[in-house]
Every structure is written in structure tokens, then in C-alpha cells.
Amino acid sequence: MKTFYQKVDKRSRTKMIAFLKKHFRYHTMNSWNLSTSYANNLKVHKLSLPYEVEDKLYELMQVREFYDGIDSLIDEFSEQYNSQWQPGFNGRSGGYLVLYEGGLIDTGYKSVCTKCGQLNYKKCPDNEEQMLIAKIQSKPWVKDILYNSFKPDFDKMGLSEIEAYRFIHTHTQKESEEYTTNNLCGKCGQLSRVNLKLKIYNTQIYAGRGIDMNECFDDWDISELRDRVMLVQDFDNLCDEIVRYAIEMAENFEVKEKTIQVSRKIKTLVERNQENGRHVQNT
């Protein structure tokens, strides 16, 4: 069985640079894109496996469930690096695992409905100050009218006139936190929205970006080189884990065909019986 992980003397700049420069690379998009990154060839016929295992893997690859474990291993790697580095398959037949640069993007959602799961970009007010902010933001009035309209609220909060105007100015800017006047869900109509305790992120992959292309590494300090070598070693180890997983699946699972019945609705013509008012279906 072919393995990808290599030991590297991390005390030697020369050996670390040689490891990075000699590592196999592959395109991050298409060949015409000319961008490449660290990669490994995971095509079955390139893994030096016994014939019976290789033959079984070609069968397993026709079943979607086979890929669940591979996806889990890739997700674990990405989580380990907080999605900054994300492996993904590329190539005409998807046989190359490539290391991509990525990241996390804040979706901007602030609250969620506990009944239907609808997300909202605004927060629900948790106290009197936030409720006042919501009221101000819901009224596109000039500052003088806002001040006079909500003066009792400002007085209750102990704000002077100058402080009240400053409060209005702060919370009517585009970049200020936005609130709704209640926790009503706009989708299901229930008063069941709550503020999110944690931000919701989407992952992003910079598919067209190359990693360390034509890099000479001479200007990298020793710690930067070690970090990069450890990253690539972790990536190579992931490839070994994927191969081990595939072999384990081949040794323990069979692909069987199963016949399932699927019910579906169809349209048919029905003749109206004028004498008794019933519908009689044509046969």
C-alpha cells in the first residue's frame, strides 16, 4: 500500500525546504488556470493495493454512503485549522486531493426563531435601552422629532439632552447594531425569536488561488518553515487515513442491490356519472 506521510528533520532549513519544493502538486482549478497547490494522487490504481481490494473499491465507489467517512475525515482536518486550510478533490475523475486555502465568513445573522428556525439579521431587544434603540430605528424621523417623541424614555434612562442626541446619532448610523421592536418571527408569525449566542459562519474556499507556487522559502524564518511543513505533513497524513478507511470499508462491506417501491401521485381521467352524481373511473 502506498503511503504519503514523510518524516522531515525540522531542525534543518535545507531539508524542510527540499520537502516542500519536491512535494507533489496539482491544479487548484483547471490546467489553464496555472494555479497549483500541495496535493496527492488518490486514484485507486495508483495506491499499490491488492487486486481484490482494488476491485472491491471500484464497487464501493458507486455507493454514496462510502464517501461519508471520507467527508468526515476532511471536515475534521478543516476544523483543526479553523477552515483556513481545506482539502478538496479535483481532477477530471476527482482522483486528486488538493490543499486549498479558505476561511470563515460571518453570515450576519443575529437571531433565530425557536419554532421554525428562521434566521434574522436583527437582534431582539433584551432590555429597556435596546427597546428604545429599536423604537428609534423603526422611525425614520429627524433627530429633533425623535428626541421629543422619546423624551420620557431618555429621562427614565437618566440621559441629558446632549447625551440623548448623541444616543440617537449613534444608533441611527448604518454600522450600528440593529434591533426589532419585538421577537416576532416574520415566517411563522410566532413570538419566538431569540438572539444567537454564537455567530453563524459559512466556509469559503479560494479555489483559484495557488499555494507556495514558485516559492523559494529563503526569506522564511525557521518557525514559518516548520509550520508549513507540519501543515503539509498533516495533509499527507489525512491522505493516508483516507486510504486506510477505504481499505477497511473494502474488507468489511459488500455492495448489494436492493429493490425498493416508491409510491407516487399520477393524474387520470374520471368520467362524471350524470345520473347519480358519482365519479366513475375509466378502466
68-72 long-range Cβ contacts below 8 angstroms, 24+ apart: 69/245, 69/249, 70/242, 70/245, 70/246
- Kindly state the average pLDDT of the residues 197-214: 92
Within a domain: residue 269?
Answer: no
Quick: pLDDT tens for 65-75.
Answer: 999 999 999 99
Quick: pLDDT tens for 157-167.
Answer: 999 999 999 99
**245 in Cβ contact with 73 (< 8 Å):** yes
Q: Is the pLDDT of residue 155 over 90?
A: yes
Within a domain: residue 260?
Answer: no
Within a domain: residue 95?
Answer: yes
One domain for residues 132 and 171: yes
One domain for residues 205 and 186: no
One domain for residues 57 and 39: yes
Within a domain: residue 280?
Answer: no
159 vs 43: CA distance, rounded Å: 69
Domain endpoint, select from 148, 174, 195: 195
Give the confidence band of 264 by pLDDT, cuts at 50, 70, 90: confident
Range of the domain at 142: 111-195
Within a domain: residue 94?
Answer: yes
Quick: pLDDT tens for 108-132.
Answer: 999 999 999 999 999 999 999 999 9
132 vs 147: CA distance, rounded Å: 11
Please tell me the pTM assigned to this model.
0.76
One domain for residues 216 and 92: yes
Percent of the chain with pLDDT over 90: 83
- Count of the separate structural domains present in the chain: 2
